Amino acid sequence: MIRVRRNERQQQILAELRLSPHVRISALAERFGVSTETVRRDVDMLSEQGLVARAYGGAAAAPMGVQPSFGERNEAHLEERMRIAECAVALIQPGEVLMIDAGSTTSQFARRLAVTGRDLTVLTNSLPVATALGSNERIDVILCPGDYSPGETAVYGIETIAFLRRFRANSAFIGASGLSVDGIMDANRAASAVKRAMFAQADTRYLLVDHSKFNQRKLSLVEPLSAIDAVVADCAPDSMLMAALHDAEVILYAASDTEPAAPRLGLTQSRAASAARHISEET
């Protein structure tokens, strides 16, 4: 039997839970050809990320309306999110106006952008994003007003949406709780509204997600796949989700690839070439 790697095991556990509300650790161990302790560690890791719920003798699907706090999410998949940030920064040109929403992946993106970005204007509802970018004197940061959420270290609400509608942007970069064949998913309805507003005001729309978000269905459908211009991820998703992205003409920039797919309308050739060069250097 071929030993399945940890990331693949965890993705298969999540796939199993989409078909059944409960899976047993003993059955998974037999299926993967590993010990029950190995599977239990997999389940513990997925539980810490808010992707599954621990259950007696196994795991259950996590509630669609619940996700870990920003602080907890910020500790998970750090290396993957750093690769995503590096790739996303290569898609930006000097002089652009950006919108960046709140989240662990977008915050990592902002930290990297603060090092390399120049002559940019950035609108955000995230305090960590604003703080990171504020360290670069060549980036003009505009922080949205709104109702402060301590758990997300960000602002949301009617005032936030109204403020965003006063501006236009070259590009919007958002994160999400999940990405499925249905589209962008999020457990936070207030966050979903901000994401929609940013997408509506931007010429080009990017989704930044790591592999743990693939095929995750959450409470709120932010936008269908057709609303996305490009997904920036640490690796490619499974064949079903990949086919759905292809059908929706969404470009995928995966840090494990040597070059991205051909850009869809709205992404300039220079941006695609820049990202391709960057990804090639990383690999």
Q: Higher pLDDT residue, 92 or 57?
A: 92
58 token code pair = 């196994």
268: confidence class by pLDDT, cuts 50, 70, 90: very low
Q: Where are the domains of the chain?
A: 6-61, 71-282
Report the CATH fold assignment for 6-61. Answer: Arc Repressor Mutant, subunit A (1.10.10)
As a whole number of angstroms, the distance between CA 160 and CA 163 comes to 5
The pLDDT value recorded for residue 60 is: 66
State pLDDT tens for residues 162-192.
Answer: 999 999 999 999 999 899 999 999 988 899 9
The pLDDT value recorded for residue 223 is: 95
State pLDDT tens for residues 30-67.
Answer: 888 888 888 888 888 777 666 666 766 777 666 544 55
Q: Higher pLDDT residue, 243 or 9?
A: 243
- What is the reported pTM? 0.70
Triad 85, 88, 92: Cα angle to 5°: 130
- Domains 6-61 and 71-282 belong to one CATH topology: no
Order of strands across the sheet that contains 202-208: 139-143, 120-124, 97-100, 169-174, 202-208, 230-233, 251-254
Report the CATH fold assignment for 71-282. Answer: Rossmann fold (3.40.50)
